Amino acid sequence: MPDIMMERVDQGNFPELVTLIFALAEFEHLTPPDEEGVKRLQEHALSPKPYFEAYLARSDGRAIAYLILIQTYSTFLARPTLFIEDIFVLEEFRWRGVGKAMFLFSAEKAKAMDCGRMEWQALDWNVNAINFYERIGARQLNEWVSFRMDAAAIDRLLSK
Amino acid sequence: MPDIMMERVDQGNFPELVTLIFALAEFEHLTPPDEEGVKRLQEHALSPKPYFEAYLARSDGRAIAYLILIQTYSTFLARPTLFIEDIFVLEEFRWRGVGKAMFLFSAEKAKAMDCGRMEWQALDWNVNAINFYERIGARQLNEWVSFRMDAAAIDRLLSK
């Protein structure tokens, strides 16, 4: 495993986070933030009350992976849940334990926050990721289906 | 539609929230919080920095439904997401627009918070809920699979 250091995103390394977010969007065939979005992302990441916690994994001086953590909640457990919004390792640095190191980092945070669970989502074609998640002891929640209402659908609902 | 009022959960109506959470757990065949859990829930709901926002829908003096909202985030949209952790209407008050009213309430919050989306999950056998969500304009995210690591799995991961 490469020698990696986890570091919190700040003003100085924020551009490296943006580069990695763009790489994840490309990998997932999804749309990355536009210029205005990058400005909002910086505000949301670095404000005194940040909207999420962002971390970079650095190896040999280079940011090779990132992690976005959010605290959600389970009313039935009556404990916070650590939700992993993004976890991504640059393609050329995979299969060396970087993802595992980021899960260990997240698991330690979850313990410190007294969380009852960690949860995250994966795209169904990302078989490598899905196999990895099962190998580290995660369970696929096949009985739950996810729903989304985008901004246009929210406006339609409100205008009816 | 019954005349309903949405109210934020506070010290006074907290016991009514607990009753509704127990009713949802029974409906979903899941385990409700134990006595210690109810104490934690109260702390987490009513602390100066609450872990979630809880609302009751009241009709004719009775709390007939509840809603738990959490702010999550989308790095690609660079906007917060309004995540609906729980939405539940007592069985005898369904099919009268109470759920719709709670979605309108949530949609207004999402707009005020400048959210890019609302998201939530449903159990796959809850066909009535799923049909309702599609009717109000939500999209089922079939391409995403959810993963969970419970506290025991987190401990196993950390002890390896």
DSSP secondary structure string for all residues of A8-73:
E--TTTHHHHHHHHHHHHHHTT-PPP-HHHHHHHHHHHHSSS-SSEEEEEEETTEEEEEEEEEEEE
Token output for A89: 């390792």
Phi, psi of B127 (to 5 degrees): -60, -35
Quick one: what percent of chain A has pLDDT higher than 90?
97
| CB < 8 Å to B103, chain A | 157
Q: What's the rounded Cα separation, in Å, for the pair B103 and B126?
A: 17
Q: How high is the mean pLDDT of chain B?
A: 96
Do residues B68 and B84 touch, judged by C-beta distance below 8 A?
A: yes
Q: Is B42 helix (H, G, I), strand (E, B) or coil?
A: helix
Q: Which two structure tokens, joined as six digits, stand for A143?
A: 């009985």
Chain B partners within 8 Å of A121 (Cβ)? 144-147
pLDDT at residue number A1: 64
A44 vs A37, A69, B75, CA distance in Å? Answer: 10, 13, 10
pLDDT at site A30: 92
For A123, the token pair is 């795209």
Average pLDDT over residues B18-22: 97
Nearest CA in chain B to A107: B154
For residue A112, give Cα distances in angstroms to A39, A109, B149. Answer: 31, 5, 15
Six token digits for residue B45: 């709901």
Instruction: Report the distance separating Cα B147 and Cα B43, nearest Å.
Output: 27
Give me the total of CB pairs closer than 8 Å, taking one residue from chain A and one from chain B. 218
Q: Which of B38, B123, B149 to mutate to test the interface with A (most CBs of A within 10 A)?
A: B149
Q: Give pLDDT, residue A151.
A: 97
Cβ(A147)–Cβ(B120) below 8 Å: yes
Amino acid B160: pLDDT:
80
What confidence tens digit (pLDDT) does each residue in A84-133 have? 999 999 999 998 999 999 999 999 999 999 999 999 999 999 999 999 99
Tokens 């109506």 — which residue?
A: B13
User: Region A63-67: what's the mean pLDDT?
Assistant: 98
Q: Which residues of B touch A44 (CB under 8 A)?
A: 73, 78, 80
- How far A60 CA sits from the closest chain B CA (Å)? 25
At residue B2, the pLDDT reads 67
CB distance A121–B108 less than 8 Å?
no
All residues of chain A having their beta carbon less than 8 Å from the beta carbon of residue B80 are 44, 51
Whole-model pTM: value is 0.95
Mean pLDDT over A43-64 rounds to 96
The better pLDDT of the pair A95, B108 is held by B108
Looking at residue A160, its pLDDT comes to 80
Q: How distant is the Cα of A50 from the closest Cα of chain B, in angstroms?
A: 11
Instruction: List the single residue in A137, A144, A148 with the smallest CB-CB distance to B157.
Output: A137
Q: Give the catalytic positions of B in this structure.
A: 133
CB contact under 8 A, A25 and B76: yes
Under DSSP, the state recorded for A135 is H
Query: B70 vs A68: CB contact, 8 Å cut-off?
Result: no
pLDDT bucket at A2, cuts 50 / 70 / 90: low
User: Given CA atoms B25, B26, B28, B34 in this order, what sign does their dihedral have?
Assistant: positive
**Residue with token string 């390792």:** A89
Q: A3-14 pLDDT, tens per residue?
A: 899 999 999 999
- Residue B1 banded pLDDT, cuts 50, 70, 90: low
Total Cβ atoms within 10 A of residue B18: 20
CA angle, B69 as apex, B66 and B74 as ends, to 5°?
155
Q: Which of A37, A104, A157 lies at the smallest CB-CB distance from B103?
A: A157
- H/E stretch holding A131: helix A127-135
In this prediction, residues B46-60 reach a mean pLDDT of 96
Beta bridge partners of B57: B6, B65
Distance from C-alpha of B144 to C-alpha of B139, rounded to nearest angstrom: 12
Cβ–Cβ gap A148/B141 under 8 Å: yes
Angle, alpha carbons B85-B91-B92 (nearest 5°):
140
Which chain A residue lies closest to B33 (C-alpha atoms)? Answer: A76
Asked if A69 and A85 touch (Cβ cutoff 8 Å), the reply is yes
> In this complex, do A147 and B120 lie within 8 Å of one another by their Cβ atoms?
yes
**Burial per residue of A22-42, b for 16 or more beta-carbon CB atoms within 10 angstroms, e otherwise:** ebbbeebeeebbeeebbebbb
Residue ranges and CATH numbers for the domains of chain A are: 5-159 (3.40.630.30)
